Amino acid sequence: MHDEISSRAGAAPRSMKRRDLLRMIGTAAGGAAMYQAMSSLGLAAESPFRGTPPLQGAPRGASVLVLGAGMAGMVAAYELRQAGYRVQVLEYNGRPGGRNWSLRGGDHFTELGGFTQHCQFDEGLYLNPGPWRLPYHHHGILSYCRKLGVALEPFVQVNHNAYLHSADAFDGRPRRYREINADYRGHVAELLAKSTQQGQLDQSVGKEDQERLLESLREWGALDRQFAYARGETSSNRRGYDRDAGGGLSARPQPSTPLQLKDVLGSRLWQHLVAGEIYEFQTTLFQPVGGMGRIGEAFGRELKSVIRYGAKVTAIQQDEHGVSVAYEDVDAPGATHTASADWCVCTIPLSILGQLPLNVSPALAEAIAAVPYAASVKVGLQFKRRFWEEDEQIYGGITYTDLPIANISYPSTGFHGGGKGVLLGAYMWGLDAYEFTAMAPEERVRKAVEYGSRIHPQYRQEFEHGIAVGWHRSPFTLGCFGVWSDEARERHYDNLCRMDGRIVLAGEHASYLPAWQEGAVTSALDAIERIHRRATGGNA
């Protein structure tokens, strides 16, 4: 690791202190690179976040106009203001946060086409239509939670007692995650153990290692003494028992019977087993207490005096002296207002930016036009009681299904709280998302209840009301996030991020972390550092 950093930074003498190295990387390649280096060295994880560029000494009177009060825009505004810039922010919505957003009781949402939904959730219940989880290694967004006093709690990603479900497998009945997990692993381990014992691995694995392999397979797959994955104490200790162990006279546990390998394979339920092993979904994940929107709200309070809400940008013009942005008041359209500044951080989603008059280089204009936006839909459903906990012992986590709803996610908080609860009743991409977006909101909710009741029959009795957000109908994004193909990224990504005169773009679309808030945060930090360098006479 240390060598890697040294070579990346050039002819750094080995005796150089780590701090000096990092400072050098920061100066030469920017805060994001410095942060990356810190991450590689394991520093970012073990120490207070130091990736925020220490901008100092804004030129007297220098000003920056930030377009968009989502994560990227507010991070930029927050840091630039601290560095001494005069900052103003224009935001289309009447609230801060952008896609960082929670719908709670009393909120209403009017989507494109004019369909309005009134959220009737009980106190404390919410739906996060956009981002909903924070990986532990997304240091940037986590650092702002800490800085702004946004309380976090664990987000349960993997729940071994939640379900895996396919309409075409096991007569459409859901299986517990732990059953599929244990049985898939157990059978694979048994097969590999057999191959080993039959000498089929002799070519590739030495005799001694074969012994170790067998030993590890027994442990990993919960095999018995004969290396078989079979009904008994060992396998039930992974997949669960028909009757759990207890005390007294009813104490004796009853083992369960593993599913057949062909049934496990044929069900395709194994495809969901890796979800929690992907870096972005590994434990520990967090969520803000009270909803993801708490982060945007906290930023909004911090930046209250500089954000202008209900401002719809209609044109962006720059010349050698500065940037001038025309906008309309959303509530009083017709009259054009103008905001101007020396520099501009533009976080407007490309889906919208591509429609605005904007004098930038052809390369940037082409990049803006090169990124399609994904469809995605989330549905929140309120139920009279938390039946998933009371009846099925599911506390947080996610059920995966091949029904169009794709996911049912259970709240990671408020266990045994009694009273009502809100489930994420659908979270979909691709064709299913297009299809649900094309429905009226109440139809999306109705369908989510209908599909979900095939996994939880209690839906029929307990459902009260719901709310559904199809991101292509979102007036402030016209889609969920920018989908970069490899080819588009190769051709356009650097051009998209490069400063163009006095304008620089930021947002998840200007990152290698598409759809993640961390992408917005790190792109904003990278962008403002380059602005600062230019504003103070350097190259960006």
Applying CB under 8 A, does 249 fall inside the site for another protein?
no
Which of 438, 443, 490, 494 is in the footprint of another protein by CB under 8 A? 438
Rounded CA-CA distance 230/264 in Å is: 14
398 φ/ψ angles, rounded to the nearest 5 degrees: -135, 135
Q: In the complex with another protein, which residue's Cβ is closer, 86 or 533? A: 533
Binding residue for another protein, selected from 122, 224, 263, 435, defined by CB under 8 A: 435
From the CA atom positions of the chain, what is the Rg in Å? 27
CB of 396 to another protein, least distance (A): 18
Cβ closer to another protein: 38 or 193? 38
Residue placing its CB nearer to another protein in the complex, 375 or 528: 375
Query: Helix (H, G, I), strand (E, B), or coil: what is residue 482?
Result: strand
When the beta carbons of 422 and 428 are compared against another protein, the nearer one is 428
Query: Is-contact 441 380, C-beta < 8 A?
Result: no
Residues 102, 328, 348: CA angle, nearest 5 degrees: 50
358 binds another protein (CB under 8 A): no
CB of 145 within 8 A of CB of 383? no
Tell me which of 21, 33, 62, 298 binds another protein, using CB under 8 A: 33
Closer CB to another protein, 51 or 186, in the complex: 51
Using a 10 angstrom Cβ sphere, with 0-12 exposed, 13-18 middle and 19 or more buried, the burial of residue 164 is buried
**Using an 8 Å Cβ cutoff, are 67 and 347 in contact?**
yes
User: Does 373 interact with another protein (rule: CB under 8 A)?
Assistant: yes
Identify the three-state secondary structure at position 236.
Answer: helix
Taking the least distance from each CB to another protein, the nearer of 167 and 245 is 167
Q: How many residues bind another protein (CB under 8 A)?
A: 64
With CB under 8 A as the contact rule, the residue among 85, 92, 163, 459 that binds another protein is 92
Phi and psi at residue 470, to the nearest 5°: -100, 115
Residue whose pair of structure tokens reads 């939670």 in the numeric block: 145
Among 434, 454, 465, 536, binds another protein (CB under 8 A): 434
**Minimum CB–partner distance for residue 377 and another protein (Å):** 10
Which of 485, 490, 494, 538 is in the footprint of another protein by CB under 8 A? 485
Nearer to another protein, 41 or 148 (CB): 41
10 Å Cβ neighbour count for 137?
15
At 408, which helix (H) or strand (E)? strand 407-410
375 binds another protein per the rule CB under 8 A: yes
| Residue 254 found at the interface with another protein (CB under 8 A) | no
Interface with another protein, residue 21, by CB under 8 A: no
Instruction: Answer yes or no: are the C-beta atoms of 345 and 527 closer than 8 Å.
Output: yes
- Residue 276 in contact with residue 282, Cβ under 8 Å? yes
Helices (H), 148-273: 177-197, 207-221, 233-239, 261-267
Closer Cβ to another protein, 62 or 370, answer by number: 370
Q: Which residues of 230-256 are buried (b: 16+ CB within 10 A; e: fewer)?
A: eeeebbbebbbeeeeeeeeeeeeeebb
Among 306, 315, 513, 540, binds another protein (CB under 8 A): 513
22 near another protein (CB under 8 A):
no
Q: How far is the CB of 432 from another protein (least distance, A)?
A: 7
Q: Among residues 381, 423, 379, 367, which one has the least CA distance to residue 405?
A: 379
Q: Binder to another protein among 406, 449, 503, 531 (CB under 8 A)?
A: 406
Q: Which is nearer to another protein, 27 or 56 (CB)?
A: 27
Among 6, 8, 220, 230, binds another protein (CB under 8 A): 8
Query: In this chain, which of 193, 371, 469, 524 binds another protein, going by CB under 8 A?
Result: 371
Q: Which are the contacts of 26, defined by CB distance < 8 A and separation ≥ 6? A: 33, 34, 53
For the segment 110-129, give every residue that binds another protein (CB under 8 A). Answer: 112-113
The single-letter code of the amino acid at 372 is P
Between 462 and 508, name the residue whose CB sits nearer to another protein: 508
Per DSSP, helices labelled H in 207-269 are: 207-221, 233-239, 261-267
Shortest CB 284 distance to another protein, Å? 17
How many other CB atoms are found less than 10 A from the CB of residue 363? 15
Q: Which is nearer to another protein, 308 or 312 (CB)?
A: 312
Strands 307-308 and 86-90 come out as: parallel
Instruction: Please state the closest distance from residue 389 (CB atom) to another protein, in A.
Output: 25
Selected binder of another protein within 148, 230, 514, 534 (CB under 8 A): 514
- Candidate list 84, 290, 475, 501; residue touching another protein; CB under 8 A: 475
Q: Which positions from 255 through 284 interact with another protein, judged by CB under 8 A?
A: 268, 271-272, 274-275, 278-281
DSSP state at residue 150? -
**What's the token pair of residue 73?**
């825009």
Q: Which of 417, 430, 457, 538 binds another protein (CB under 8 A)?
A: 430
Q: What is the DSSP string of 129-147?
A: SS---EETT-HHHHHHHHH
Does the CA dihedral 187-193-195-198 come out positive or negative?
Answer: negative
Q: Report the interface residues with another protein, using CB under 8 A.
A: 8, 32-33, 36-37, 39-40, 92, 112-113, 268, 271-272, 274-275, 278-281, 312-313, 348, 350-352, 354-356, 369, 371-376, 402, 406, 427, 429-432, 434-435, 437-438, 470, 472-479, 483, 485, 489, 512-516, 522
